[in-house]
A and B are shown apart, each in its own frame.
Chain A
Amino acid sequence: MKEFKQPPTHMNAVPQRAAEITAERNMEKTKAMEEKDRKANGARQEEQYSLNDDRRVKVLSPGALVAKRFFRNRLAVTGLAVLIFMFVFSFLGGLVSPYGEKQIFYRTDVTNKEYASVVTNDEYRYASNDPVFSGVALAQSGLAISQDKDAYEYGGVSFQITQEGKELYSVWANGGVVGLVYKDIVNASSDTINENDFDFLYGALKAYAGEEKNFTWQDRSFTVNQDGDVLENGEEVAYISRFIVRSVYEDVVITKQWKTELEEALNDGKTVFEMTDENGDVYEYKISYDAYRKSYSVKQGKDTTVIDTFSSPTAEHWFGTDGYGMDMLTRLMYGGRVSLIIGFIVVFIESFIGVIFGGISGYFGGWVDNLIMRIVDIFYCIPSTPLLIILGAMMDAYNVDPKIRMLYLMLILGFLGWPGIARLVRGQILSLREQEFMTATEATGIRVSRRIFRHLIPNVIPQLIVAMTMGLGSTIILEATLSFLGLGVRFPFASWGNIINAVNDTHVLTSYLFVWIPAGVLLLLTVLAFNIVGDGLRDAFDPKMKR
């Protein structure tokens, strides 16, 4: 044998020129041989290594050749990168994310609750100390006051009216005080006081209106200051105010302090004031005036905890939260996991069944082939989307647990998808079984199952891988479509399809883009990447293909 020299530097400089040897493919073999010859002629002067020396000839396995062709395809590599990103995003993302798949977030929201209504007392009130001053006699006193009379007569009794202060009148009859006509209202803030007691009322109002700031009631002495506070030994026991405040809720006690704040706010014309209650919680109150009812209504802004739905992207929730108050990004991660896992399992199931049936059908031919192909035809004919919808509705009716439902979904999709793979495998095997190596396996007496699954099927692997990659894309779309229709993966589990399901609500479609756009983009990118990679693999496997 003639010896040829090949300096290693030259070798490294032009690696593409290296001979490519493949063991199985004739085409590859002849191509490699041509390469080798060309190489040999080009390198005639280098006589360092022998022709079949490994150092001289760079030997690539068929797999490495495919990989080389694949990686030369920039589009396919981009697709692969996208897929790797999706896998990292879905499978590692869930671990890295600080939130759980089903963790619900809450936010505090200010809800304005009707708290109290306030009316300024503009009408005279009456208090009676004697049965004489009642009924019409009482009403007559109001009339007399409005007419600026200081005496009137009713039912044979004559009444005298004395003005005790601003809008405070006492009514006298038979030489004693029988009633009181007033506008300021006395409210007790201590249990020891009965604000409806006439003597107390009279004393307090008189003290509030007049010069005298002190009065006694039941041997207790009280002082009334300018703010209308009634003090006993410096402690407030009651207060006097023109406002009538009614709380909306039975259990809410309106404190004097609150009333004071309210009065201040009303007098200053403010519409908002803040108050700290006895528990130290700060509430905001909004005052609005209802001109028709001539009353103020006070609304309490209360912090209530609500589920944090559809909140816009923030530092804590990069993609916001969804309609269940769950972190969108985390849902997307888990959703991707579900979509990818379902895709892989379904494709695995359909390939498994498809390879077995396709292999048997292609190898045996005859009536076996005929039978299996007719079964394949039947499966092809069953309209799969309607069937899946019906099965989904069926699972709905049975209230199947979402987890088990996912399992059923995979089994059904896998079972419906196998005929395609079976046809592909059968077609390949029909041509392969006529080749010499099959005659050789027959001659050496290898048993049939081994002939099919060890010698025929491996030759179908390239086409199978391409079909599986493409199948992954379409399975993911199918799953997403079913989940979108609410018939596939169900809440609480996330899937890209059921995340986009929120878009059925027109409000979400228009206002909460962050809820459905990311899931759609991820879905699109993943399926696109599977298709591009599948395409790239097909080109890489095809020996005729040169880029």
Chain B
Amino acid sequence: MGKYILKRLLISVVILFFVAFIIYALMRCLPTSYIESVARQRSMTPGSKSYEEWMAQLAAQYNMDKSIIPGFFGWLGTFLRGNFGDSWKWTVPVIEKFNDVIWISFIMGAISFFFELIIAIPLGIVAATHQNTNLDYAISVVALAGISFPTFFFASLMKLVFSVKLGWFDLFGLVGRNYNQLDATGKVLDMANHLVMPIVTLVVISFGSLMRYTRTNMLEVLSADYIRTARAKGLSEKKVIYHHAFRNTLIPIVTIVGGSLPGLFSGALITETLFGISGIGYVSYQSMIGGDIPFSMFYMVFLAVLTLLGNLIADILYAVVDPRVRIA
């Protein structure tokens, strides 16, 4: 087991290296030249150096004066030493900005993931035990509709109904207008109020795939021989499904749930942007379209790490949860 994890980790490092290189190369190709505009701005101030001098200085500061490959290794060196650079757009160290915005994204992700689980798994089991009934079709269509809903359309509909027509929530933002006048409880409630729509959006668009996954696995388990045996020996249907079948269905579910845990940190780019919540998704979107290389680089590498971590956790959990699985 230890050897397997070690091997997987080593492969992950190699993959990460290449991913980082590809991302770096792409970012270097960005012509949105933030540097140029900054240099132009600074050269405008009276008594300043010329544009060319600023250019040279900034480029050196951001490792842009070297060609892509030496530049990449230079960047990698500082990155590995824990120096992630200063964000060009937010004018603070990348890690500081990241620390500012990651937690709200994580809270949003965690809450919506929790709701996703408590909605998707029971629904999936109900759909599987009522296979080919109208209930099953209804649940499947709802789940498929959730999967098929474009985030931005669903978010817009939510805004129209709940903010514009009913006036329950604000259209944008994480805090209300009178946030600063509220006491501690009021502040938390205010934030919670503003998080309702984003979280509902996230849950609706993402519960479908987990529900379908649960249903498929449950169906597979229900057709297994040991279920027939359980029924044959006269166990109640409730016991068969919740004791024998459900536990076995949990194996793949735990695997996939474990694997998606790191993803809670990745932020919800579209949802955050639409609801104007400055989490990591929104901030990184702003950085990316603003040509902020240090921040975008950091965010993308961070996402790649999360993906690799998720896969690794899923694979390990698979072996841990199911004793029948042997890892070569």
> Which residues of A line the B interface, CB within 8 A?
75, 374, 377-378, 380-383, 385-387, 389-391, 393-394, 396-398, 473, 477, 480-481, 484-485, 497, 500, 503, 506, 509-510, 513, 516, 520, 523-524, 527-528, 530-532, 535, 547
User: Is B159 a contact of A481 with CB atoms below 8 Å?
Assistant: no
User: Is B32 a contact of A378 with CB atoms below 8 Å?
Assistant: no
The range of chain B's interface size is 35 or more
Residues in A whose Cβ lies below 8 Å from that of B27: 390
Asked if B299 is an interface residue, CB under 8 A from chain A, the answer is yes
- Complexed CA–CA distance, A510 and B31 (Å): 37
Interface string of B151-191 (1 = CB under 8 A from A): 11100110110001000000100000000000000000000
Given A378-B19, A389-B285, A393-B289: A524 touches B304 (CB 8 Å cut-off): no
Task: List, sorted by A's number, 21 A–B pairs whose CB atoms are closer than 8 Å.
Answer: A377-B11, A378-B19, A381-B307, A382-B22, A382-B304, A383-B266, A383-B304, A386-B299, A386-B303, A387-B23, A393-B30, A394-B29, A500-B152, A509-B159, A510-B164, A516-B156, A520-B153, A523-B150, A524-B149, A524-B150, A528-B145
Residues in B whose Cβ lies below 8 Å from that of A387: 23, 26, 300
User: Is A386 a contact of B15 with CB atoms below 8 Å?
Assistant: no
Residues in A whose Cβ lies below 8 Å from that of B132: 547
User: Is A527 a contact of B23 with CB atoms below 8 Å?
Assistant: no
User: Is B289 a contact of A389 with CB atoms below 8 Å?
Assistant: yes
Given A374-B15, A382-B23, A383-B304: A532 touches B150 (CB 8 Å cut-off): no
> Within the complex, what minimum Cβ distance (angstroms) separates B283 from chain A?
12
- A-B contacts, CB under 8 A, total: 121
CB closest chain-A residue, reference B145? A528
CB closest chain-B residue, reference A520? B153
User: Is B150 a contact of A386 with CB atoms below 8 Å?
Assistant: no
Q: Could you tell me which residues of chain B, from 67 to 125, have a CB within 8 Å of some CB in chain A?
A: none
Residues in A whose Cβ lies below 8 Å from that of B29: 394
Residues in A whose Cβ lies below 8 Å from that of B156: 500, 503, 509, 516, 520
Not counting A391-B26, A531-B148, a sample of 13 additional A-B residue pairs whose C-beta atoms are within 8 angstroms of each other reads A382-B22, A382-B23, A389-B288, A390-B288, A393-B32, A393-B288, A394-B32, A477-B148, A484-B152, A510-B160, A516-B156, A528-B145, A532-B144
User: Is A394 a contact of B16 with CB atoms below 8 Å?
Assistant: no
Residues in B whose Cβ lies below 8 Å from that of A381: 15-16, 19, 304, 307-308
- Complexed CA–CA distance, A500 and B269 (Å): 17
CB closest chain-A residue, reference B270? A481
Residues in A whose Cβ lies below 8 Å from that of B316: none
User: Is B150 a contact of A390 with CB atoms below 8 Å?
Assistant: no
Residues in A whose Cβ lies below 8 Å from that of B284: 386
> Within the complex, what minimum Cβ distance (angstroms) separates B140 from chain A?
8
User: Is B153 a contact of A524 with CB atoms below 8 Å?
Assistant: yes
